Amino acid sequence: MKNKLLLGSSNKGKLNEIKFYLKYFSIYLDFDLITTKELNNFGEPIEDALTFQENAEIKSQYYFNLTGHATISDDSGFIIDDMGNYPGVKTARVAKKLGSEQNVMNDIFSKFGNISHLNATFFCAVSLVTDNKKYNCLGKVKGKMISQGIGNNGFGYDPYFIPEQSEKTFAEMQSDEKLKASHRFQAFKILSSQI
Ligand code: IMP
């Protein structure tokens, strides 16, 4: 029987991308992939740390401790250059609190007067915890957030983020293009060079 690699996320958009990167970078190809949806009554880790890296490791360690399976998790989000570390590790939480990504953008842009974009950086920390090793890799992509979403592809804040050297939002790109332009690509690239 093959060993199992647990993907410590229930976010469909993220899971699809993580599966792509595992293949693309030939990471743990001989393992059977399972997700947290296949675990019953395992609850959820409390992501209360102040950095993406710490939160990613909290997730991987939590599911590894419960299952004993090698676990890979990502913690991601964006930071507006002129807002300290905001929303940062709270990127998912503010969308939940305000009801949608568009509401988050409305709230952020309301603090800056009449402008249509803000410089920002998207981050992705990937943590892999196995029975004898731990990895933690941070990928980032600079760009800008725009106040009104454009494009229908992708997930989450994809319609609002235009990476440097592009004129398209992540949500306007074809899936292949976004997958190679993203913060998650950078994090998995670093991980693949370490294992
Ligand atoms: P996490 O699941 O706690 O890591 O939260 C990640 C947050 O950042 C969620 O609100 C996601 O929608 C958002 N996010 C992370 N990566 C991406 C991406 O590649 N595109 C768009 N939104 C993203």
CB 136 within 8 A of CB 125: yes
CB 174 within 8 A of CB 166: no
For residue 82, the model assigns a pLDDT of 95
49 CB within 6 A, ligand 1: no
The identity of residue 92, as a single letter, is: A
Residue 70 is part of a domain; what is its CATH number?
Answer: 3.90.950.10
Asked if residue 121 has pLDDT above 90, the reply is: yes
Q: Which residues sit opposite 70 in a β-bridge?
A: 5
53-65 mean pLDDT? 97
* Average pLDDT over all residues of the chain: 96
> What backbone torsions phi and psi does residue 187 show, to the nearest 5 degrees?
-65, -45
For residue 67, the model assigns a pLDDT of 94
102 CB within 6 A, ligand 1: no
Within the chain, residue ranges assigned H as helices are: 12-24, 52-67, 91-98, 101-109, 175-181, 183-194
CB 163 within 8 A of CB 184: no
Domain of residue 9: give its range.
4-194
Total structural domains within the chain: 1
**Interval between CA 2 and ligand 1 midpoint (Å):** 30
Asked if residue 92 has pLDDT above 90, the reply is: yes
Indicate the DSSP class of residue 87. B
**pTM for the whole structure:** 0.96
Asked if residue 110 has pLDDT above 90, the reply is: yes
> What backbone torsions phi and psi does residue 191 show, to the nearest 5 degrees?
-60, -45
156 CA closest ligand 1 atom index? 12
Asked if residue 76 has pLDDT above 80, the reply is: yes
Say how far apart CA 124 and CA 187 lie, in whole Å. Answer: 6
Question: Between β-strands 32-35 and 134-146, what pairing exists: parallel, antiparallel or unpaired?
Answer: unpaired
